[in-house]
């Protein structure tokens, strides 16, 4: 979308202010501004024009004309639209930042914030490469364009720019002609329509039609031309008759007529699948009155002269279109069976229909329902129109009109230019999930506009987002705290649930196996049908669901085993049937079935439970369990710093207790390795005395390491302690050794 006809800078003809063609055109521009906006100061326009001439000097367009002609033409279109001098100056400068070494700072210094801001907005849009045509994309691109600009004049300049580029499109290659015309039809013409700029829209459409479908264009063109003379003659007759009747009835009104535009004729043909001969509203008459009452008077008058075609009467005065278009429409049957459409409106309505108002809104095609939110926006626009009437200075109106049309959405791009619409404050992660679930699940980072950003950063309108993924990476529960789109949220939750379920099935299976071993039951003897029968007993669907229910603590493994093979186990009388439970209950009940009141935290042989390596708790210490992904339950000391960090995922915490030794005689004495660091005097015999204390306490020494510093020694032991009391005795004993300054337990081994 960059300036479509820029060629590399090369020497061209003299484009200085002395050039006669330019001088004449510029005088016309100033005259138009003076006529349309007498109070505007033309000085800024003059300054902008000089700046434009200077900085585009030597640049040429594909047509071979000096580049500066393009900004001048764009400014003329803007002046025709009756825009203010700020907008016209910005129009003259609109390609300066894009195509010359001029910076936004330069523009600010010379022309002030407003002009610079507008030029910057136009440049920003120019830089975006829109993806190829995709039906659903077009609407998003249009919305994004509106969302990206904060000043309505940016869009006006963009439309004027496109209009002039379309008018001079013949100089480009056929491929460029196609692409630019397509984009014009998809993006710019509808945008002009939405802004109520009927004239610009019509011209853009007809210009684009010629290039997008030259064959059909020629067909429609020829058909219309063949009937033009006849049509014009007919309409001239209609006009004369109508004028006569208006005078008779003392109604002041002017009458216009035209042959409809080719693109809109073709749209009609496509829609109703008829031939060009059958298009009844090829011919259009317009009556412009002084008042609304006169509109309805003319309406009645016309129907008294010509017979209306049923179903073609529309009152857009009582029910304005969403873009504020107002008119009475009717189609009537003229002499010789000629049908023609009549539009009746006031001067004010006519102005709005042709030029649009300086306002934006979300437009839906007539007929489609308008959401309450759209309704709200429209109310806002109507309010603006009211304000506009009250304001004496139109400049004031334009500069106070800031667009924030889609405050709840943000428009971003893939590197290939596809528009991705996300909720406001969305993050790169939301973006990733909108591309594909797997892209979201494996997302490890993102580049926004080429720079690496954190996953939780907020995206802004126009950001180009590139997702970085890594195979095997998986979602984190933490993501739920910052994603904004419901899609991302649901996908993450789904993944977490799925994987928690897998884990639960695994735990359930192991618990059942352990229970079976305990009762010396071979699970191998059960058939799949046995599991299905028990599953049905518990009203769960499948074998897996049954295992998951055990894993989640809904039912105990013993209950299930007993159902599988009644009488094999002694049902615990006190054990109630569990109906519901959370993960946190799950693991505790696991232990209940294994004959103790708490989770088995015996460590090495336990598949499900392991001591967290960060704190290595030992028997007797206050502990807390944490369900890890795919590894089982990590047991931390309650005072472990990591526990503080784990608190926010409270649903993954489980209560755990040290298991009571079931049978002390049989059970091997369980010990836990502990690392002790001793700071002491560096003296002979120290190490020997320390080792003696440890062996006196019947503790095994796994490793010993000592080093000496300036005036002290540091000795590190890894010893096997039975529990906290045993450890406390060891530490006390070590502290009593003369020359020992401190004994510390290191959390890590
Ligand atoms: Mn341009």
pLDDT surpasses 60 at 590: no
pLDDT band at residue 346 under the 50/70/90 scheme: very high
Q: Are strands 339-346 and 283-289 parallel, antiparallel or unpaired?
A: parallel
Distance from chain centroid for Cα 569: 58
pLDDT at position 129, please? 60
| Mean pLDDT of the region 453-481 | 85
Q: Which helix (H) or strand (E) holds 167?
A: helix 152-167
Residues with Cβ within 8 Å of 35's Cβ and at least 6 positions away in sequence, in order, are none
Distance from the alpha carbon of residue 159 to the mean position of ligand 1, in angstroms: 10
pLDDT (tens digit per residue) in 82-113 = 788 888 999 999 998 877 888 888 999 999 98
- Cβ(586)–Cβ(553) below 8 Å: yes
Q: Which helix (H) or strand (E) holds 375?
A: helix 372-390
Lowest mean pLDDT among 302-316, 448-462, 591-605: 591-605
Alpha-carbon distances, residue 650 vs 251, 536, 644 (angstroms):
79, 32, 11
pLDDT surpasses 60 at 487: yes
pLDDT (tens digit per residue) in 167-214 = 999 988 998 899 899 888 888 888 787 666 788 899 999 999 999 999
pLDDT band at residue 626 under the 50/70/90 scheme: confident
pLDDT surpasses 70 at 424: yes
Distance from the alpha carbon of residue 94 to the mean position of ligand 1, in angstroms: 6
pLDDT band at residue 122 under the 50/70/90 scheme: confident
Q: What percent of the chain has pLDDT over 70?
A: 75
Q: Find the Cα–Cα–Cα–Cα dihedral 95, 99, 100, 102, rounded to 10°.
A: 50
How many C-beta atoms lie closer than 10 Å to residue 58's C-beta?
15
Distance from the alpha carbon of residue 554 to the mean position of ligand 1, in angstroms: 69
Distance from the alpha carbon of residue 157 to the mean position of ligand 1, in angstroms: 9
pLDDT at position 420, please? 83
- Cβ(625)–Cβ(654) below 8 Å: yes
Distance from the alpha carbon of residue 635 to the mean position of ligand 1, in angstroms: 67
pLDDT (tens digit per residue) in 407-416 = 577 888 888 7
Give one DSSP letter per residue of 550-582, joined into a string: HHTTSS-HHHHHHHHSTTSS---TT-PPP----
Q: Are strands 672-681 and 701-708 parallel, antiparallel or unpaired?
A: unpaired
Distance from the alpha carbon of residue 192 to the mean position of ligand 1, in angstroms: 17
Distance from the alpha carbon of residue 360 to the mean position of ligand 1, in angstroms: 22
pLDDT (tens digit per residue) in 708-732 = 877 788 899 999 888 888 999 999 9
pLDDT band at residue 163 under the 50/70/90 scheme: very high
Distance from the alpha carbon of residue 419 to the mean position of ligand 1, in angstroms: 23
β-pair partners for 453: 446
pLDDT at position 376, please? 47
pLDDT band at residue 1 under the 50/70/90 scheme: very low
Residue 99 annotated to the active site: yes
Task: Calculate ∠ Cα 665-666-671, nearest 5°.
Answer: 85
Distance from the alpha carbon of residue 71 to the mean position of ligand 1, in angstroms: 6
| Mean pLDDT of the region 620-633 | 72
pLDDT at position 359, please? 31
- Cβ(210)–Cβ(217) below 8 Å: yes
Nearest to 296 by CA among 239, 332, 346, 248: 346
Lowest mean pLDDT among 10-24, 346-360, 478-492, 626-640: 10-24
β-pair partners for 240: none
Distance from the alpha carbon of residue 77 to the mean position of ligand 1, in angstroms: 12
pLDDT at position 462, please? 76
How many C-beta atoms lie closer than 10 Å to residue 620's C-beta?
16
Q: How far apart are CA 289 and CA 300, in angstroms?
A: 14
- Cβ(302)–Cβ(313) below 8 Å: no
Q: By CB neighbour count within 10 A (0-12 exposed, 13-18 middle, 19+ buried), where does 382 fall?
A: middle
Alpha-carbon distances, residue 597 vs 448, 519, 600, 659 (angstroms):
54, 19, 9, 7
Active-site entry in 99, 151, 206, 697 = 99
Distance from the alpha carbon of residue 470 to the mean position of ligand 1, in angstroms: 42
Q: How far apart are CA 492 and CA 485, in angstroms?
A: 11
pLDDT surpasses 70 at 518: yes
pLDDT band at residue 488 under the 50/70/90 scheme: very high
Distance from the alpha carbon of residue 99 to the mean position of ligand 1, in angstroms: 9
Task: Calculate ∠ Cα 162-141-381, nearest 5°.
Answer: 85
Active-site entry in 54, 80, 98, 502 = 98
Please tell me which residue, 274 or 584, carries the higher pLDDT value.
274
486-518 vs 583-593: helix crossing angle, rounded to 10: 0
Distance from the alpha carbon of residue 78 to the mean position of ligand 1, in angstroms: 13
Please tell me the pTM assigned to this model: 0.54
Q: How far apart are CA 34 and CA 88, in angstroms?
A: 12
Please tell me which residue, 151 or 746, carries the higher pLDDT value.
746
pLDDT at position 614, please? 82
pLDDT (tens digit per residue) in 232-251 = 888 889 999 999 999 999 99
Q: Are strands 623-628 and 632-637 parallel, antiparallel or unpaired?
A: antiparallel
Residue 530 annotated to the active site: no
pLDDT (tens digit per residue) in 539-576 = 888 999 999 888 776 777 888 888 888 776 554 443 33
pLDDT at position 629, please? 57
Backbone conformation region of residue 237, classed left if phi is above 0, alpha if psi is from -120 to 50, else beta = alpha
Highest mean pLDDT: which of 204-218, 416-430, 537-551, 673-687?
Answer: 204-218
pLDDT (tens digit per residue) in 646-658 = 655 555 666 677 7
pLDDT at position 280, please? 56
Distance from the alpha carbon of residue 132 to the mean position of ligand 1, in angstroms: 21
- Cβ(730)–Cβ(719) below 8 Å: yes
Q: By CB neighbour count within 10 A (0-12 exposed, 13-18 middle, 19+ buried), where does 465 fall?
A: buried
Please tell me which residue, 164 or 396, carries the higher pLDDT value.
164
pLDDT at position 91, please? 94
pLDDT surpasses 70 at 390: no
pLDDT band at residue 589 under the 50/70/90 scheme: very low
Residues with Cβ within 8 Å of 357's Cβ and at least 6 positions away in sequence, in order, are 195, 196, 324, 384, 385, 388
Q: How far apart are CA 542 and CA 551, in angstroms?
A: 14
- Cβ(100)–Cβ(55) below 8 Å: yes
Please tell me which residue, 56 or 149, carries the higher pLDDT value.
56
| Mean pLDDT of the region 416-433 | 87
pLDDT surpasses 70 at 396: no
Q: How far apart are CA 394 and CA 539, in angstroms?
A: 73
**Average per-residue pLDDT for the chain:** 77
Q: How far apart are CA 299 and CA 328, in angstroms?
A: 8
């Amino acid at each position: 979308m960059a300036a479509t006809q820029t060629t590399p800078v090369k020497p061209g003809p003299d484009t200085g202010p002395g050039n006669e063609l330019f001088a004449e055109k510029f005088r016309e521009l100033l005259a138009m501004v003076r006529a349309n906006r007498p109070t505007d100061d033309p000085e800024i326009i003059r300054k902008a024009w000089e700046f434009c001439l200077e900085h585009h000097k030597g640049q040429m367009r594909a047509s071979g004309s000096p580049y500066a002609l393009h900004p001048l033409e764009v400014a003329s279109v803007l002046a025709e639209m009756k825009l203010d001098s700020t907008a016209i100056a910005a129009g003259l400068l609109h390609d300066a930042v894009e195509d010359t070494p001029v910076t936004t700072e330069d523009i600010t210094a010379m022309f002030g914030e407003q002009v610079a801001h507008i030029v910057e907005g136009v440049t920003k849009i120019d830089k975006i490469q829109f993806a190829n045509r995709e039906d659903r994309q077009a609407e998003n691109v249009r919305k994004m364009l509106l969302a990206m600009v904060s000043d309505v004049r940016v869009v006006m300049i963009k439309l004027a720019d496109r209009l002039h580029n379309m008018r001079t499109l013949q100089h480009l290659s056929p491929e460029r002609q196609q692409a630019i015309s397509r984009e014009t039809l998809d993006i710019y013409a509808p945008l002009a329509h939405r802004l109520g700029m009927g004239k610009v829209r019509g011209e853009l459409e007809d210009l684009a039609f010629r290039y997008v479908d030259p064959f059909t264009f020629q067909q429609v063109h020829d058909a219309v031309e063949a009937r033009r003379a006849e049509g014009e003659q007919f309409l001239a007759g209609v006009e004369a008759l109508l004028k006569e009747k208006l005078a008779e009835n003392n109604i002041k009104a002017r009458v216009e007529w035209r042959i409809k535009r080719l693109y809109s004729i073709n749209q009609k043909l496509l829609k109703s699948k008829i031939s060009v001969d059958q298009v009844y509203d090829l011919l259009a008459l317009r009556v412009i009155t002084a008042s609304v009452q006169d509109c309805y008077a003319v309406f009645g008058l016309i129907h008294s002269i010509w017979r209306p075609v049923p179903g073609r009467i529309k009152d857009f005065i009582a029910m304005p279109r969403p873009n504020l278009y107002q008119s009475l429409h009717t189609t009537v049957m003229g002499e010789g069976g000629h049908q023609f459409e009549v539009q009746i409106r006031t001067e004010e309505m006519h102005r709005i229909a042709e030029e649009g108002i300086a306002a934006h809104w979300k437009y839906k095609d007539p007929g489609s329902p308008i959401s309450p939110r759209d309704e709200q926006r429209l109310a806002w626009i109507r309010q603006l129109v009211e304000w506009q009437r009250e304001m004496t200075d139109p400049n004031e109106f334009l500069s106070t009109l800031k667009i924030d049309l889609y405050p709840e959405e943000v428009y971003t791009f893939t590197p290939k230019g596809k528009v991705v619409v996300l909720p406001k404050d969305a993050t790169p992660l939301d973006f990733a999930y909108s591309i594909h679930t797997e892209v979201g699940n494996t997302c490890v980072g993102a580049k926004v506009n080429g720079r690496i950003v954190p996953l939780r950063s907020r995206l802004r309108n126009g950001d180009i987002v590139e997702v970085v993924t890594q195979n095997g990476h998986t979602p984190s529960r933490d993501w739920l705290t910052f994603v904004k789109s419901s899609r991302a949220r649901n996908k993450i939750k789904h993944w977490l649930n799925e994987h928690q379920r897998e884990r639960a099935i695994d735990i359930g299976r192991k618990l059942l196996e352990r229970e079976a071993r305990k009762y010396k039951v071979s699970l191998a003897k059960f058939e799949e049908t046995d599991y299905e029968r028990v599953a049905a007993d518990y009203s769960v669907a499948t074998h897996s669901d049954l295992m998951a229910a055990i894993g989640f603590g809904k039912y105990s493994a013993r209950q299930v085993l007993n159902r599988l093979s009644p009488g094999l186990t002694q049902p615990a009388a006190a054990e109630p049937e569990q109906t519901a439970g959370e993960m946190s209950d799950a693991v505790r009940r696991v232990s209940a079935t294994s004959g103790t009141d708490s989770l088995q935290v015996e460590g090495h042989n336990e598949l499900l439970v392991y001591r967290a390596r960060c704190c290595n708790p030992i028997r007797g210490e206050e502990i807390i369990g944490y369900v890890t992904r795919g590894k089982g339950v990590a047991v931390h000391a309650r005072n472990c710093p990591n526990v503080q960090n784990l608190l926010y995922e409270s649903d993954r915490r489980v209560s755990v207790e040290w298991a009571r030794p079931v049978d002390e005689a049989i059970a091997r004495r369980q010990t836990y390795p502990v690392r002790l660091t001793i700071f002491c005097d560096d003296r002979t015999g120290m190490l020997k005395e320390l080792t003696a204390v440890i062996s006196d306490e019947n503790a095994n020494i796994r490793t010993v390491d000592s080093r000496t510093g300036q005036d002290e020694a540091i000795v590190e032991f890894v010893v096997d302690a039975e529990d906290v009391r045993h450890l406390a005795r060891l530490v006390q004993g070590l502290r009593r050794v003369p020359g020992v300054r401190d004994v510390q337990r290191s959390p890590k081994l």
